[in-house]
Amino acid sequence: MGKLAIGNKVPDFRLPATGDKTVSLADFSGQRVVLYFYPKDSTPGCTTEGQDFRDRINTFRRRNTAVLGISRDSLKSHENFRTKQQFPFDLLSDSDEKLCRLFDVIREKNMYGRKVMGIERSTFLIDENGVLRNEWRKVKVAGHVEEVLEAIKSL
């Protein structure tokens, strides 16, 4: 499967999610969807990013937009993270990196002087018809959720 481009339809996917569910893009037909990919549960930047989405969830909902967080962490790790932070949205486990690769978010990173492959913090906005409308790569957490909300307003 090739890389996604803005203006293209996003293929349906199914991933295990918190709450003992399997989530697919088709579940959100008629809604906008924000997919935010983050490196690791319970780390400082990922926690702040999740909290920012949590704190603005009612604004997203009023704009007919679902929020889903995605990382390679296990469901058990996701459940703990979601419960501790009281996230009102599901976290999806992409342990085999299928969705990460579709959205091209796996990058070589430097971690304590070692090169490792990991998720580059990225967010994608999908419209009601399943079309990719916007993407943010190399996301800086501060102010990011506001940028996403502005993009939703302009749809």
The pTM score is 0.95
Q: What is the mean pLDDT of the chain?
A: 95
- Rounded average pLDDT over 119-138: 97
Q: Which domain holds residue 98?
A: 30-153
Domain of residue 78, CATH code: 3.40.30.10
State pLDDT tens for residues 21-60.
999 999 999 999 999 999 999 999 999 999 999 999 999 9
State pLDDT tens for residues 64-97.
999 999 999 999 999 999 999 999 999 999 999 9
**In whole angstroms, what separates CA 92 from the centre of its chain?**
8
Q: Which residues are marked as active site? A: 46
Please indicate, yes or no, if residue 7 is contained in any of the structural domains. Answer: no
Please indicate, yes or no, if residue 21 is contained in any of the structural domains. Answer: no
pLDDT of residue 2: 55
HSE-CB at 96 with a 13 A cutoff on CA atoms is 5
| Residue 1 pLDDT exceeds 50 | no
The total of structural domains in the chain comes to 1
